Amino acid sequence: MKCLQLVCILGTSLFFATHRVTIPGTNNISFPIVHRNEGGDYNASTGVFTCRNTGQYWFASTLTKFYHDSAGYVYCRVMINGMYQLQMYTQPNTDVTAAYSMSFSAGFHLRLGDRVQVGDRGNPDHIINDFDTFFSGILIKPDRHFD
C-alpha cells in the first residue's frame, strides 16, 4: 500500500508520441503527435522527455526507413542529458530500397531534471513520418522518499 501511496503523491509519468520531425539546426528528432502525456513530461516541440519524478523509467522507440529510399543505412541514438546511451542501427544487406525498422526498449534510472531524447546520426529525412515511428516512456518505479 505504501508504494501505491507514493505513486499517488508523486504523480504519474507516461507518454506516447508518433511521427517524426527533425529539429532545425540539430540531429534531434521530435515526435509531434502526442497520444498520451500524463504528467506533461514530454515536450512535442523539442522531442525531449524531462524527468519530474526520480525513479526507474522504461523507454521504447521504433524508427522505420522509407520504402524506395536509397539510403544505405539509418543510425540513431538515445541520449540522456546529451550523453549517448545506446544506438539503433539498420543497414540492409540486399535491397536498399526496402523498408527497415529499428527499435529499442530500455530501462534507466533518472534523476530530477534528466532529459531523454532520440537523435539521428545521419539523415533523418530517411525515416518515415507516420505511426511506424514512435517514442514512449513510463515511470515504472519511483524512488522511495517516504516511509
Q: Bridge partners of 63? A: 102
CATH code linked to domain 2-142:
2.60.120.40
Q: Which residues of 68-84 are buried (b: 16+ CB within 10 A; e: fewer)?
A: ebebeebbbbbbbeeee
Q: CA-based angle 51:56:60, to the nearest 5?
A: 80
Which of these, 102, 88, 115, 105, lies nearest to 140 by C-alpha position? Answer: 105
pLDDT tens string, the chain, 147 residues long: the values are 444 444 444 568 999 998 877 766 677 788 899 999 999 999 999 999 999 999 999 999 888 776 666 666 677 788 999 898 888 777 666 666 666 677 789 999 999 999 999 887 666 666 666 667 889 999 999 997 644
